[in-house]
Amino acid sequence: MTLLEVDRVVVRFGGVTAVNEASFTADGGAITGLIGPNGAGKTTCFNVISGLQKPTKGKVHFQGRSITSSAVHRRARKGIGRTFQRLEAFGSLSVRDNVRVAFDIHRGFRGVLKPGAADVEALLERVGISDYAGERADAIPTGAARLLELARCLACDPHLLLLDEPSSGLDEAESEAFGALLRELAAEGRGILMVEHDMDLVMNVCDTIHVLDFGEVIASGSPAEIRADARVQQAYLGYSDEPVREPMEAQA
Ligand SMILES: Nc1ncnc2c1ncn2[C@@H]1O[C@H](COP(=O)(O)OP(=O)(O)OP(=O)(O)O)[C@@H](O)[C@H]1O
């Protein structure tokens, strides 16, 4: 089922066209990748979807309804959750308290008053950061902080997760566990739209990938289709006979 539809969105910043007639979708129960070179317009698209950036033109639909003019908090209440490239946790609070705050805010909206200590612990366990539960959020490794961002987002039980470079800072084993967690979340029916530069992760977990270049969607398809697309190879992936990882790391 189509959960999110971005329809011919244009974003201009003065003379810079950051997003140019971009159209793409993300389904519930699936992982969708949004990839492209630095400056291609990926974060600007996320800002348009979450409501932080008004599009110059175009529309955004969520669950079949236009949210183009909805405020950020209304989109969040409708079930759009987001993590940021820059980490946004409360640094002086513990990891546990960061997740607790997210739960409390979400429950406050819903009018649920039951204490949720067990839920907090279960969520910390689920994303794999229980060992850091008592530590200050600004004292944990970057990879764990990214997982904390995800936990805070999941505390709000989103239908659609927008994940902006969620795996940066994760080592190979953590990245693999993270991919498995994403698959689990999608299997629960959630939609995941992910901006990510780790091509191994993207190619392994995504059902569909959209490629942006200079603000335009230059290709959409399965990982195999994207790998084989000549325009994508030229704009982003490098040549097809080279391993995918090397050109990506060269760009980072
Ligand atoms: N607030 C802004 N004002 C002016 N130009 C902006 C603004 N935000 C983004 N841009 C420009 O819009 C273009 C797209 O930027 P954006 O951050 O969306 O790209 P991106 O694909 O997310 O890049 P990266 O992979 O480096 O995060 C870039 O040329 C950027 O410099």
What are the sequence ranges of the domains in the chain?
1-79+195-252
Distance 151 CA to ligand 1 centre (A): 26
Domain 1-79+195-252 has CATH 3.30.2290.10: no
CA 39 to ligand 1 center in whole angstroms? 5
- pLDDT tens readout for residues 96-135: 999 998 887 776 665 555 556 778 899 999 999 999 999 8
CB 209 less than 6 A from any atom of ligand 1: no
Complex-level ipTM: 0.96
- Alpha carbon separation from 56 to 9, 45, 69, 112, 148 (Å, rounded): 7, 12, 12, 38, 33
DSSP state of 237: I
Closest residue by Cα to atom 3, ligand 1, is: 13
Q: Ligand 1 pocket check: which of 42, 53, 163, 236 to mutate, most ligand atoms within 8 Å of Cβ?
A: 42
Helix axes 117-127, 142-154, angle to 10 degrees: 130
Ligand 1 pocket member 53 (CB < 6 A): no
Is the whole-model pTM more than 0.90? Answer: no
Determine if ligand 1 sits within 6 Å of the CB of residue 54.
no
Q: Give the model confidence (pLDDT) of 165-224 as tens digits.
A: 988 888 888 889 899 999 999 999 999 999 999 999 999 999 999 999 999 999 999 999
Q: How many helices (H) and strands (E) does the chain have?
A: 10, 10
What residue type is assigned to position 3 of the chain? L
Query: Using CA atoms, how far apart are residues 184 and 180, in angstroms rounded to an integer?
Result: 6
Find, among 195, 203, 193, the residue nearest to 244 by Cα.
203
Could you tell me if the CB of 109 is within 6 A of ligand 1?
no
For residue 90, give both structure tokens. Answer: 């409360």
